[in-house]
Structures are given as structure tokens and as C-alpha cells.
Chains A and B, each alone.
Chain A
Amino acid sequence: MTGGLADDDLKACCAQLYESDAVRWLLDGELHPGGERLSLRLAELAGVGPGRRVVDVACGSGDTALLLARELGCEAVGVDLGAGAIAQARHAARPGDRVSFLVGDAETLPLPDASFDVALSECSLCMFPDKPRAIAEMARVVRAGGTIAIADVTADLDALPAALRTAAAQVACVADARSADEYVALLRDAGCEPLAIEPHDADLRAMADRVEARLRVARMVAAPGEQRERVREAAALARMAIEAIARGSLGYALMTVRV
């Protein structure tokens, strides 16, 4: 499934990729479908509010943790494997923000048991090589009765073309994505009780569209030769993803479970 990359290499590759300026540009600063709007919707579904303690697993450069702390008055902790991303997140935090950021692996969270009301993770579970382990870790750090909130790419893997199931696509949240029901089953296996599944495929479509268009203009200015061909292939992959979204075999969903 990982196309030759060892799991640790893959995780590091993902973490680095999302730190890069080029990727931020491709995604127009919105590192997951729906941007802030769906981050706030996910938090709303999870009951995040003033005084709540929230951990954002694979928080990247901290945008969502900062947004939730500032907009909803919660206390947020962000964890990410990328040291660079965590440094950016710490830099973005202002005095008075009730946020903290830690470098750490989602499969061994550097956090005590039952120390949060909510664990959320956006567009990340699909990329974790050992999903049951990452879910068990989220369940461990959330108190009994708290909520795990997942926003992720959903996929009917059998219906996807082979190219969308390679390692290159894995970092784009596609290759190891599952259907919403399968994610919820994984969460149920960890002892959680399903609460809500909310599909938002149109937001994934809009993001894929943006990426595809930006890759096509990137191809216009890429150096002729290998670089240009790689960008061209990436654009073709994005088109495949758009077609898969249109067919319903690729989507985006918000999911919540009670711990």
C-alpha cells in the first residue's frame, strides 16, 4: 500500500510536504477541504466551546488549533511530526492565545491519559499507516464521554484507478483513505460510540479543482524536461481525483464518535 516507502519515511515525507511553500501555494493556503468553515463545523459537531480542552492531532502549522482557541474560546494543544511546522505554529501564536504546540507522533502521542475533552484530526487519519494505533492514541488521551472528531477524505478504494492508490497519492490523502463507514468501524473497534457522519464532497471537489488548475499553470512555467513532466503527471492525477469525486468514489466527510 505504501509503494515501497517504509512507514516512518512516509510519515516524515507527509509532514515535510505540508510544510513546503509550493504545497501551500497549490492549496491556496487551505490545507484541507472547506478551510476554516469546515474546521469550525467539525468543532461545532464535537461540542467545542469555552473552557474545553482540545488536541489537534497532526496540526500542521497550527491554523486550526489557533482558530478554535481564538474563535471558540477553548484551550488547544497541537501535535505534529514536523518540527518545522511546530516552529511555525509557535511563531504564529500570540501572547494570550490559549494554545501550545508539541512535536510528536500520532501513534505515540506525548500526552497523558484522559487529559482532553476533544481530540480532532483533519485530513490526517487517511495518511497514518497504522490507523488503529492512531485511533487508540486519540481514545487514550480523551476522557470518557469526550469526543473524537475526524475530518477526512473518504474513498471506495476498489473503485479508484491504480494511479490514485500509489504512494504519491497517499500524501495527497487518497491512497489509504477509507469509506466513512470504515473509519467509523475503526473508531467503534477502539470502543467509541458513533455520533454523526456529515458528507462534504463539494468542498473536496472545489479543492481538487483549485489544485488541478494551479498545477496546469505550474506546468506552463516549469523547466522543460523532467520537472515539467512531473508537474504534468501531477495535474493528470488531480484530474483523475476530480473524476473519482464526480463518480462518488472519492469524497470528504466529518465524523464524530463518543469515547
Chain B
Amino acid sequence: MPPRDTLPAATRSICPHCGAGLDAELIERDGRVILRRECPEHGVIEALAYGDSGRWRDAQRYDRPGAAPLLRQTATDRGCPHDCGICPEHAQHTCLGIIEVNTGCNLDCPVCFADSGTGHQPDGYSLSLAQVESMLDSFVAAEGAPEAVQLSGGEPSIHPEILDMLAAATAREIPLVMLNTNGIRLARDARFAPALAALGIHVYLQFDGFDDATHLAIRGRRLQEIKQAALDRCAAAGVGVSLAAAVERGINEHELGAIVRFGVEHPAVNGVFFQPVTHTGRHPAFDPLDRLTNVEVIRGLCAQLPEWFREDDFVAVPCCSPTCRSATYALYDGEDLVPLPRLVDIDRYLGFVTNRAVPDVEVASALAGLFSASAAGGTERTGDRLECVACGVGLPEQLQRIAARGFMVVAQDFQDEWTLDVGKLRKCCVGEIVPDGRIIPFCAYNAAGYRTQVRADLAARASA
């Protein structure tokens, strides 16, 4: 697919009602980018793809060619997104692999793209340690030296073998092993955080805000005390945490600044990931033309924390499609916070400015690593890369040490049935590893029917 930096742009999508593959178009309307297609059965379907057409065009400069994985598991047959696994048409390797170890959960959240819960899933499953080991091996075979893996669910912390599964990932020398959790076990089980610390696990903690209304709307329960207790246990054990906030229009968009401010003050937290709610699985009623994208999330954050952030502090991440993820790193010392892109001319190093040689290849590669889907704040690898950048751009030595403790803020807009854009999907670098060894781009897994298939398949085998 040729690079696209003008609108309208041709792509393919699906019908959110029947799943049919459809020709589609990205069009500009009122300064925003809309994904538009027409289903023979369900008519014209439109959804907001990106909240600012000027920024959309600007972000395309960051769309760099991807790197091939070592292995492709499927053949191209029906066309994207129906051959996932990864097929020969996919244009990127997998920076971050996700393994959903179960569908069971100790919450029944009103918002859950994975449609997990405490027992109402007839097609639920729980993987064995052997299955997870074989999936990790598939990931290693596909990537050679994978950068990052996340064990997720369901709620992975309630799986009886979760620590062995995490240990299996670290044993394969994957530098960043994350546990995606709601924090309930961390809060209740005093031994859990120390066990994660012993394995060097990074926690990806659901954390949507502070208001009762936010908790009730997104999680169905007031979890503020549990989140605080989980974080305090992580801090005491020395476990690094990224806060992951599901953000929804009209629910918690006013809490973006408060979440970041809380994160930078809490000793366990070294990053915040804002994820506009993916309208797949369980979700509240929504208007596809008034959903949140990275643009609205970043604008909201900057409006709530103008003393710390402005829009151009966020860099479109070049490894996936540039409108999927925007990120920044910031230096914080307890009094002030300064975003790294204000100190370093990132365009110059990532080679986006034409007619200019990359000044320092090592710094450029460190920056590429920082602005990728495999990065999390506070990890050793991130610290090393930040230090390399700080040194390479001539920050004095004391500043390099501060830089190495950088705090990360990310906006990550995953796709759903409404927003699925094959042009973006082909560049996806977040992959769901499934038990048969396929690696399915995360948004295809959620939006193109793979989640349902995999679950039905696993449930059928369990009952056979």
C-alpha cells in the first residue's frame, strides 16, 4: 500500500453490523478525518478516525517503513483483515505481544473489550502453563529476540499458574514482561507484589480516574482504595507501574490531568497510557462521530495541565501507523516537569527532516526504541535509552541521570468495528499471540472476529 499523506485516502474497512469487508475512504470534514464506507445491506457507515486533519497530515511524516518478522504464519488468501496470523501483506513485525491467559475475571466491568467476567461467558477458557510456554516459543520464533510481552486476560492475576507463566516469559529473556491487571490481587495478597518484583515484572494497572461516577461507569464498582493499596504495595516491593486509563467521552475525560499528576507523584508509577474506549465487547452507548481519538485525549490533557504539557510535546510513534499512538517522555523532580521533546529536536534524530543526515545513529536508534510500542516508563531498557539520548544530545551529566528517570505519557487509540482501517492495521505492531501460534494484530483480533473464533475454538476443545 503506498504511503498516504493526502485526503481523501482510499482504504478498506468492514461493516460494524455484519462484518463484511468494504472499500472505504478517509475523508476530511470540518477539520477532522472521517472513515466512510457503504455496506450494501446496512448503508453508509461513518466514524471519526482522527480529531484533526492538519495533525493527521503532519503525523504521516512519521510513517516509516516497518521491519519484517522472521516468520509469517499464514498465507494471503481472502485479503486484509481476513488472513491474520501474520500474513505476507503485513508491513510490520510485532513490538509487543499479548497473551490472554484466561477469560475469567474478578470484576464485571460495564466496559470490557475482552468481554470477560465472573462467570457469564459460556465460551470462557483458561490456558495451561504448557500452552502459554508454546505461545511464547512461537513469539520467539517469529521475532528472534522479542522486545516486550504482556500477559493479560480476563484477569490474569487470578490464574493459579500466573507466576509460572510470567517466569516462563522472563526465562525466554524478553526484556519487558508486563502483567495487565485490575490490581485487586495486588491489593489483597501481600505476597503478590514481592513475587512480581522477584521476577522483574512491570505492572500495567487499569486506572481510569478518581471520581465515583468514573469507577461506576467503567468498572461497575468503586475501586479507588484497591488501586491505592495495589500501588502502595508495588512501591514497597519495588515494582514499576504504568497506569492504563480507559477514557470515554462524557465519563472521565475531565480526569486526564489528575491521573498524570497522581502518577508523577506516586513512587511506583512511571508512565500513564490513555486508551480511548474501544467500542467492541462491552461498552456504553456512543456516537461513532463523536468518539475520542488521540487528538482529543492530548488536547484534554494539555488543557488540564497547561503548566506541564502542550500538544506538540507528543510525538506520533513511527513504528505503528502514526495515528495509533502518540507519546512523550518528561523529566520530573518533584517541583517541575519538562517534556523531553522540548530539549531534543526529535525530528532531526528520527530522520523526518529531508536533506539532513541523522546526526547520530545511536541516538536515533535509542529514540526509535523509546517511541515504540515496546516501551514502558521506568524499565531498565527505557532508562538506558533515555540516558543514551541525553548523552548524545549533550545534556550535562547530572541531567542525564534525571533524564534516565523519565516519565512516559502515551495516547493509544485502538480500533474497533467502527474505526477499522486496513491501511493502519497493516502497520500494527501489537499482536495477540494465540494458542495455535498465530500472531494476530490486536485491532484485527478485537474488530475482525478473531477473538470470537479463538474463544469458540478453545471452549470447544475444553468441552470435547
Interface residues of A, Cβ cutoff 8 Å to B: 25, 28-29, 209-210, 213-214, 216-221
Contacts and interface: CB of A to CB of B under 8 A. Distances in A.
A129 to B, nearest CB: 32
A61 B396 CA distance: 21
Size bracket of the B interface: 10 to 19
A219 B336 contact: yes
Given A28-B345, A213-B343, A221 B398 contact: yes
How would you classify the secondary structure of chain B's contact residues: helix, strand, loop or mixed? loop
A253 B394 CA distance: 29
B357 to A, nearest CB: 13
A173 B333 CA distance: 30
A220 B394 CA distance: 16
Interface string B335-357: 11011001101000000000000
Given A25-B394, A25-B396, A220 B336 contact: yes
Nearest to A220: B333
A217 B399 contact: yes
B331 interface: yes
A33 B395 CA distance: 20
Q: What are the 5 A-B residue pairs with the smallest beta carbon separation, nearest first?
A: A213-B342, A221-B398, A220-B333, A216-B338, A217-B338
B402 A217 contact: yes
A220 B396 contact: no
9 contacts: A29-B394, A209-B342, A210-B343, A213-B338, A213-B343, A217-B331, A217-B343, A220-B338, A221-B399
Question: Which of A25, A29, A218, A221 has the most chain B CB within a 10 Å cutoff?
Answer: A221
A220 B399 CA distance: 8
Interface in B162-219: none
Given A216-B336, A217-B399, 14 more contacts: A25-B396, A28-B343, A28-B345, A28-B393, A213-B338, A217-B331, A217-B395, A219-B336, A220-B331, A220-B336, A220-B338, A220-B399, A220-B402, A221-B402
A214 B396 CA distance: 11
A61 to B, nearest CB: 16
A169 to B, nearest CB: 21
Question: Which of A25, A28, A217, A218 has the most chain B CB within a 10 Å cutoff?
Answer: A217
Nearest to B345: A28
A25 B395 CA distance: 7
A216 B395 CA distance: 13
Contact of B399 (A29, A209, A210, A218): A218
Interface in B391-406: 393-396, 398-399, 402
A214 B335 CA distance: 15
B14 to A, nearest CB: 42
B343 to A, nearest CB: 6
Nearest to A35: B345
A209 B398 CA distance: 21
B342 A210 contact: yes
Nearest to A218: B399
A42 to B, nearest CB: 18
Contacts of A221: 396, 398-399, 402
Contacts of A28: 343, 345, 393
A22 to B, nearest CB: 8
A221 B399 CA distance: 7
B336 A214 contact: no
A14 B342 CA distance: 26
A218 to B, nearest CB: 7
Contacts of B399: 217-218, 220-221
A210 B338 CA distance: 11
Contacts of A220: 331, 333, 335-336, 338, 399, 402
A25 B390 CA distance: 12
Contacts of A216: 336, 338
Nearest to A25: B394
A28 B345 CA distance: 9
Nearest to A28: B345
Nearest to B333: A220
Contacts of A218: 399
A25 to B, nearest CB: 6
Contacts of B339: 213
Contacts of A210: 342-343
Contacts of A213: 338-339, 342-343
A202 to B, nearest CB: 12
A197 B342 CA distance: 29
A229 to B, nearest CB: 13
Contacts of A217: 331, 338, 343, 395, 399, 402
A217 B394 CA distance: 13
A28 B395 CA distance: 9
B436 to A, nearest CB: 49
A214 B394 CA distance: 12
Contacts of B395: 25, 217
A214 B402 contact: no
Interface string B356-395: 0000000000000000000000000000000000000111
Nearest to A213: B342
Nearest to A24: B394
A214 B333 contact: no
Nearest to A212: B342
A220 B396 CA distance: 12
A214 B398 CA distance: 13
A205 to B, nearest CB: 11
Contacts of B331: 217, 220
A206 to B, nearest CB: 9
A213 B337 CA distance: 9
A80 B423 CA distance: 55
A220 B345 CA distance: 21
B386 to A, nearest CB: 13
A173 B395 CA distance: 24
A35 to B, nearest CB: 10
Nearest to A216: B338
A217 B343 CA distance: 9
Interface in B296-353: 331, 333, 335-336, 338-339, 342-343, 345
A210 B345 CA distance: 9
A179 to B, nearest CB: 28
Nearest to A22: B396
Contacts of B398: 221
B397 to A, nearest CB: 9
A259 B335 CA distance: 53
A28 B349 CA distance: 14
